[in-house]
Structure 1
Amino acid sequence: MGKKALIIGSGIAGLAASIRLAVKGYEVAVFEANAYPGGKLSQIEAFGYRFDAGPSLFTEPQLVEELFSLAGKNPGDFFRYQKLDTVCRYFWEDGKRLSAWSDVDRFAEEVETKLGEPAGKVREALKGSAFIYKHLAPLFLERSLHRLSTWTSSKALRTYLKMGQLGLFSTMSQANEQRFDSPKLIQLFNRYATYNGSDPYQTPATLNIIPHLEFGRGAYFPEKGMHDITLSLVELAKSLGVVFHFDSRVEEILVEKGQAVGLVSGGKKFPAELVVNNMDMVNAYRTLLRKQKQPKRLLSQPKSSSALIFYWGVKKVFPELDLHNILFSEDYREEFGHIFKKGTIHHDPTVYINITSVMKPDDAPAGCMNWFTMINVPNNQGQNWDALITEARKNILAKIHRILKTDLEPLIELEQVLDPRTIESRTSSAQGALYGNSSNNRFAAFLRHANFSSEIKNLYFCGGSVHPGGGIPLSLLSAKIACGMVESSK
């Protein structure tokens, strides 16, 4: 019998951790409070429509493929995807429209033609994004920041020499304002702050690393939808002997003599040699580890933004829309000020529309589209969400009417809603924040919880609320970092 490892939560990082530990020879069991796996990476099906419920952008597919390769499997036998020709389509109130082609030269030429910004500036901006990625990814994303060896490695020493060029001393918006003249292009590049729930007017310019993920490394779409990432990893985990316990909320992580020795679920004790927590770090300490020393500074950090999502079944096909679409607000600074300073929703929010039926026609009935319609909103601080949702819905529909010249209301035949309250209740995310602690200061990377406990031996952490951050790629890397610290049981 091998050593036992218990995973709390079947989000993308929990699934990756279960696979990595099974490959290391552990007997792995995953405990999930919901009746389904995937956490935010789940799906909704109703009346002939299918929606990916959470993350809609797929980058760094090699991080998923790596899990199959580790297990000696051919990734293509489980999971297939294709590269996008168009990363996103952008729309403004004055009628301007722009396609962000995945081909950098074509995108740069599109920007010059539509927005009047020289193509060379776009290429330089993306080269700068690649530069940040080259120097920061090996240090800040792929290794633990909480181990001395990270800071004394040769990669770290090379990075120290480039610190002035990595955007640590200005905000994202300041860097983009210095780079571009077109307000619309500044807004487009500022949008990348939302990829980890940040404010471009506060978050460091280091986050200009993100465009490289889309343009330099590519944006993709799983052939069966984003939820297929979850399903394929569950299938892989089961093939390795991982056992899943659904509808099994964990009540406590058991600690004896400073060491994690198992957990309690359904009033029953489950012993193990190690425990991996994929639950939101804040709620894990407040519930599962309530008897243990609390990292008060980490728990008290401001949280990232959240989301308000309308899942709409629409009885019309809009040929001008693609998989990813953005309808920009007129005043971006004011919009983020409402989210992060006022804790409310601006009357003119930026609207993101994800339509997987563009790529996967059976996600909607013939002649219809499945609209995942999202705006960025503050995390849950006790606001009157019912009133905010009603007002936001009206403003979103008005914006769509103005930009797409169509009254969408009579075309909506299905509607479901996800707001910060339900995000919190379904995924245990503190305050419904999508990405854990906020990244709105230059020290944010150092204010995320480590992938291990410094107080409790054999307790590890993965997922979007800990290092290196939220989103599918970083969550997968968190599992890789955490499991890389675990010795093989073979």
Structure 2
Amino acid sequence: MSSKKAIIIGAGIAGIATAIRLAVKGYVVEVFEANSYPGGKLSEIEQNGYRFDAGPSLLTMPQYIDELFTLAGKNPADYFQYQKLNTVCNYFYEDGTRIKAYADTQQFAQEINRATGEPAANVIKYLASSADIYNITNHVFLERSLHRLQTFLRWDTVRSIFKLPQIDAFRTMHKANETYFKDKRVVQFFDRYATYNGSNPYEAPATLNVIPHLEHHFGAYFPDGGMYSITQSLVKLAEELGVKFRYNAKVDEIVVINKIAKGIRVQGENIVGDIVVSNMDIWFTYKNLLQKHQQLHPQKTLNQQRSSSALIFYWGIKKTFPELDLHNIFFSADYKAEFSHIWQQQQIYHDPTVYVNISSKLKPDDAPDGSENWFVMINVPANNGQDWERLIAGARQNILRKLSKVLGEDISLLIACESILDPRSIETKTSSYKGSIYGTSSNSQFAAFLRHANQSSKVKGLHFCGGSVHPSGGIPLCLLSAKITAEII
């Protein structure tokens, strides 16, 4: 056990998880958060009797959350409970096709066959391939640092290296999906998983076809208290372990002396620590907190292509829609054009794919009686100085037109209240450079190796966690990031 002090910058999910792991090991831990609330992107909004989970809305691999309570000698169910979804998501196509993505693999494959004519055997074969990629990459790419020699000296790593040709890194997701499926609707269905880490299926490596395995093998879940209850339960655990949270405490500088992290400077106060962990976006960590140390900046990393961002409308809807579920996708008629607009033109396509999350389907008190809380999101480019007021106004109109057409009702007349989150406000609220949700994109076969390490190679005692560093963004990977970082420490 240690009595050293650890300073965590940022109370995002990875920062909280790192704090818990270090507290369990005996560290004195203090977390500094610029906002008045914890959670980072995993926060909530309340308006006019409606409650919205503001950020991540899909929970997979909850075992990584449970593990934190188990490490602390607690019963996870005393803090955090969740249910497995029988239907992962409803899909709506412009041609009228509708698909229910059942959690059960056989039922899902039969549903694909019913809706599109694609042989169920092709779906089963595809998901088996997805499982193979996971089994090869999991212990190497997800659960350990790629920047430490001992990772590559392990026997399971050596075995995985010999199987690397099987992870399909040298063709794109889209090309791989075209070889598995003849029906374009099914190809589009599986291309969508590139958006789970802010990438482009027409550029990202087919290795990312591992993502469907996480959803269809491990399952999708919904926390009984909504997604924000993840943050609340982990903060409660951390505080019980003695972790101190300081809110409205924007860190101004990481203090580095003779290439050793000595602590931080916050609101004119120097806080001394033995370990400093930044949960802030890696770009802002260097540019804002280490601006006095330009020689430390990894310029190639900081210049990498950023992931996509999001435009989210939080709508209180004065009606219920039985045909909708917790998760719903309304596909664009031209997926390639949509991604071209996001990545090449840095604009928003007039027919975007629309994601609608309605937590009141499973948590009725999130909306008044007879109403629903709609989290309506489209993928958009990172902020590069576009005219966002014009883009938002146009996107809102196009989204309403699309949803109204498919659902057969003028949705604009049902909106009781509205809040908006765009790339600019994502950057402001969560210190995500350019509003990119997942840090750097994964639009190359070497992306996994190019993400920033969880430990500084130039400053002793300085570490990093969160979605902008290894292994990537999203709740499960942020929790794994915390695990890797804490184990290095």
| Aligned residue in 1 for 2:95 | 94
Q: Give distance in 2, aligned partners of 1:168 and 1:60.
A: 24
| Aligned residue in 2 for 1:396 | 399
1:276 to 2:263 alignment: no
Deviation string, structure 1 residues 239-262 (Cα, Å, up to 9, x no partner): 001000000000000111111110
Shift of 1:2: 2.2
Q: Which runs of 5+ in 2 are unaligned?
A: none
Higher deviation after alignment, 289-298 or 36-45? 289-298
> Contact 1:252–1:288 at 8 Å: present in 2 too?
yes
State the SS of the aligned residue for 2:344: helix
Q: TM-score, normalised by structure 2?
A: 0.99
State the SS of the aligned residue for 2:189: helix
1:459 to 2:428 alignment: no
| Aligned residue in 2 for 1:58 | 59
Give the one of 431, 439, 443 matched to 2:434. 431
Q: Give distance in 2, aligned partners of 1:471 and 1:58.
A: 9
| Aligned residue in 1 for 2:23 | 22
Higher deviation after alignment, 154-163 or 411-420? 154-163
Q: Give distance in 2, aligned partners of 1:2 and 1:446.
A: 34
1:364-383 aligned within 5 A: 364-383=367-386
| Aligned residue in 1 for 2:179 | 178
Identity over the aligned pairs, expressed in percent?
58
Q: Give distance in 1, aligned partners of 2:152 and 2:167.
A: 17
| Aligned residue in 1 for 2:334 | 331
Q: Give distance in 2, aligned partners of 1:164 and 1:10.
A: 38
Q: Give distance in 2, aligned partners of 1:16 and 1:156.
A: 26
| Aligned residue in 2 for 1:481 | 484
Quick one: which amino acid aligns to residue 24 of structure 1?
Answer: K
Shift of 1:161: 2.0
Q: Which runs of 5+ in 1 are unaligned?
A: none
Q: Give distance in 1, aligned partners of 2:225 and 2:121.
A: 37
State the SS of the aligned residue for 1:347: coil
Q: Give distance in 1, aligned partners of 2:182 and 2:353.
A: 21
Shift of 1:315: 0.3
| Aligned residue in 2 for 1:114 | 115
Quick one: which amino acid aligns to residue 202 of structure 2?
Answer: Y
Quick one: which amino acid aligns to residue 212 of structure 1?
Answer: H
Shift of 1:116: 0.3
Shift of 1:78: 0.3
| Aligned residue in 1 for 2:104 | 103
Q: Give distance in 1, aligned partners of 2:157 and 2:409.
A: 53
| Aligned residue in 1 for 2:316 | 313
Quick one: which amino acid aligns to residue 410 of structure 1?
Answer: L
Deviation string, structure 1 residues 25-48 (Cα, Å, up to 9, x no partner): 011000000000000000001111
1:26-425 aligned within 5 A: 26-292=27-293, 293-425=296-428
Shift of 1:149: 1.5
> Contact 1:89–1:322 at 8 Å: present in 2 too?
yes
Q: Give distance in 2, aligned partners of 1:165 and 1:375.
A: 32
Deviation string, structure 1 residues 77-116 (Cα, Å, up to 9, x no partner): 0000000000000001111101000000000000111110
Q: Give distance in 2, aligned partners of 1:6 and 1:73.
A: 24
> Contact 2:44–2:53 at 8 Å: present in 1 too?
yes
State the SS of the aligned residue for 1:307: strand
Q: Between Structure 1 and Structure 2, how many residues are aligned?
A: 486
Shift of 1:152: 2.4
Higher deviation after alignment, 240-249 or 149-158? 149-158
> Contact 2:404–2:411 at 8 Å: present in 1 too?
yes
Quick one: which amino acid aligns to residue 388 of structure 1?
Answer: L
Quick one: which amino acid aligns to residue 230 of structure 1?
Answer: T
Q: Give distance in 1, aligned partners of 2:164 and 2:15.
A: 33
Please provide the CA RMSD for this pair.
0.7
State the SS of the aligned residue for 1:386: helix
Q: Give distance in 1, aligned partners of 2:158 and 2:488.
A: 22
> Contact 1:93–1:402 at 8 Å: present in 2 too?
no
Q: TM-score, normalised by structure 1?
A: 0.99
Deviation string, structure 1 residues 282-325 (Cα, Å, up to 9, x no partner): 01100101122211000000100000000000001000000000
Shift of 1:159: 1.3
> Contact 2:136–2:164 at 8 Å: present in 1 too?
no
Give the one of 446, 449, 464 matched to 1:446. 449
Higher deviation after alignment, 408-417 or 162-171? 162-171
Q: Give distance in 2, aligned partners of 1:87 and 1:445.
A: 27
State the SS of the aligned residue for 1:342: coil
Quick one: which amino acid aligns to residue 406 of structure 1?
Answer: E
State the SS of the aligned residue for 2:341: helix
Deviation string, structure 1 residues 169-204 (Cα, Å, up to 9, x no partner): 110000000000010000000000000000000000
State the SS of the aligned residue for 1:144: coil
Deviation string, structure 1 residues 16-67 (Cα, Å, up to 9, x no partner): 0000010010110000000000000000011110000000000010100000
State the SS of the aligned residue for 1:192: helix
> Contact 1:43–1:52 at 8 Å: present in 2 too?
yes
